[in-house]
A and B are shown apart, each in its own frame.
Chain A
């Protein structure tokens, strides 16, 4: 593949936009669930905050941290995706996204009516095995946060 095309595939405008201006980049002091994601290889480090109401619905999402464009954009996209989802649907998103990024699943099997189309912007990492962990980091943190209310997820 022409290297320009492949680079543009990885660093799509949507990715660069989210990396430069991450959405919901804030600490949530009233979070009910939180987890840290650490990619020891790269030094990417983020903390994800979730507010989950008594009906198991995610009412607010935030994150803070530092990392490469891929990890920041992925975390930013995550916050937009899982807000207003049920805990079960959000965790299903974790499964769907990581499967797509790591197992070359042809499509994202979205739970319920969740629209995961935007996340296809992360597809470029599938051609970059060393960068897949950057893209899945925030999703591992989501899974860890929902699984145990306090913990650390690593990509190792």
Chain B
């Protein structure tokens, strides 16, 4: 694996210049973008890679003998190689390109779980999960008669490991668990959890949508079986994603979608499926998006995931301290180990009203249930306001957020 180059933390301050979307005036104020957990801004390198492909190299992949098709294929498959390296995956056959985390998880639910789940079997998830790591399992449980079991969390928003352990029995066929909670920012102790699951032979899928933008991910070191994530949360285009899976498991799984590109030979009575990973990639893929995704990987590695992690960690500490000093702020999600995501409430102001007032001051945050309604229900809330950090944020952004909150207090005084 290529270790990300270590740079001095000061370099991160200049990364902001790489993101044209950040440099604009919104509602009369310089934009303060604190919604990267929803979708991150894209650096010029990504935007240019996509534009260059559209201008010069556009053609279909894996099909033509002509030069443009060859170029498009090289770029597209080059992105797969970058993603293999990014995850330290054992082989490129294990990198299935999808439309995003949601499709990756649905693929596992339908192709891995559905053929083998029986009534009485269980799928285990945690209370922290995003809807995309809940609903695909509900669907496959309904289809097979299996049962969905949910491990509880405590008041800080951490999975109760003892209770999770108690729920890991031989009935559990798969554990689906987030790397980082999108709503509360909790970083789950994956190594510990996965090691426990492995002793019982439980297959583990990690929803890594909120993990990959913030820290080094090594799927071999994690020892999980599947790792799913999206391009647009890590500064790439929307509509791109990866399902990483162990080659032996992927080999055994039937195709998820039928169509072009996933076959070797088709006749009306028989089809020979293509080899991995193409078996799972029916139809013309998101070529330009994937090329941009590859450029996003290059960008992240050039900044260095360790640098990003340290930068966001210290900025998150600053953000929570400043937020806690605002009269009437209540932090939701106070796990000991948190990524750059912070949910909070301000007095009894509804998050949507707060979001509107912040937007008026150029501050973009997410408000509502964050596609994690069970987490909100756990805290007895309809929703929260969530500020989430990307590598390009700085203390000025946090200061702007704090002064915008003071303004909101006045509006609703």
Contact = CB atoms under 8 A, between A and B. Distances in A.
Contacts of A67: 350, 352, 382
Interface stretch (B46-54, B291-299, B354-362): B354-362
A128 B350 contact: no
Nearest to A134: B352
Contacts of B28: 2-3
A68 B27 CA distance: 21
Contact of A43 (B27, B353, B383): B383
B221 interface: no
A141 interface: no
A116 B73 CA distance: 62
Contacts of A25: none
B382 A70 contact: no
Contacts of B368: 41-43
B356 A128 contact: yes
B179 interface: no
B31 to A, nearest CB: 14
Nearest to B407: A7
Given A128-B356, A131-B356, A134-B352, A11 B382 contact: no
A6 interface: yes
B411 A11 contact: yes
Contacts of A99: none
Nearest to B381: A43
B379 interface: no
A11 B382 CA distance: 21
B361 A11 contact: no
B369 interface: yes
A137 to B, nearest CB: 12
B345 to A, nearest CB: 13
Contacts of B411: 7-8, 11
A66 interface: yes
B360 A3 contact: yes
A69 B350 contact: yes
B350 A3 contact: no
B347 to A, nearest CB: 12
A70 B369 contact: no
Interface string B99-132: 0000000000000000000000000000000000
A66 B353 contact: no
Interface string A20-45: 00000000000000000000011111
Nearest to B413: A16
Interface centre among B357, B368, B376 (most CB of A within 10 A): B368
Given A42-B368, A43-B382, A7 B360 contact: yes
Contact of B352 (A7, A8, A16, A42): A42
Contact of B356 (A2, A10, A44, A45): A10
Interface string A45-84: 1000000000000000000001111100000000000000
B350 A68 contact: yes
Contacts of A131: 352, 356
Contacts of A43: 368-369, 373, 376, 382-383
B366 to A, nearest CB: 12
Interface string B363-407: 000011100010010000011000000000000000000000000
A3 B361 contact: yes
A12 to B, nearest CB: 11
Contacts of B382: 43-45, 66-67
B236 to A, nearest CB: 25
B360 A69 contact: no
A44 B27 CA distance: 25
Contacts of B349: 69
B353 A70 contact: yes
13 contacts: A2-B28, A7-B357, A8-B411, A10-B356, A11-B353, A11-B357, A42-B367, A43-B373, A43-B376, A45-B382, A66-B382, A67-B382, A128-B356
Interface of B: 27-29, 349-353, 356-357, 360-361, 367-369, 373, 376, 382-383, 411-412
Interface of A: 2-3, 6-8, 10-11, 16, 41-45, 66-70, 128, 130-131, 134
Given A3-B361, A67-B382, A69-B349, 19 more contacts: A3-B27, A3-B28, A3-B29, A7-B411, A11-B412, A41-B368, A42-B352, A42-B367, A42-B368, A42-B383, A43-B368, A43-B369, A43-B383, A66-B382, A68-B351, A69-B412, A70-B352, A131-B352, A131-B356
